[in-house]
Amino acid sequence: MIEEKVIIKNETGLHARPAANLVKKASTYPCVLKIKKGDKEANLQSMLGVLSLGVSKGDEVSIIADGQDEEETLKQLVDFINHLEG
């Protein structure tokens, strides 16, 4: 299980459109993925989970990957988040 912190930089944070893109992307990986903000944690493959975490621009979150290819998966997801638009 590995973890990496990332700061949300896109303008509107993780709301419907970027959240949808992120969740769709996360759902393509076989391992267990979580996103953590403060002490709240959510399933990164769950749209509702991500939305209800209420992540805005400037927030720092942790991405946790556990399972098959977790290192590569985490790297790609963090990169994806840093490139989120909208």
DSSP state of 83: T
Nearer to other proteins, 15 or 36 (CB): 15
The values of phi and psi at residue 56, to 5°, are -110, 170
Q: Which amino acid is at 31?
A: C
- Tell whether residue 60 is a contact of other proteins (CB under 8 A): no
The 1-40 site mask, x for binding other proteins (CB under 8 A), equals ------x-x--xx-xxx-xx--xx----------------
29: Cα within 13 Å, side-chain hemisphere:
25
- Tell whether residue 74 is a contact of other proteins (CB under 8 A): no
- Tell whether residue 48 is a contact of other proteins (CB under 8 A): yes
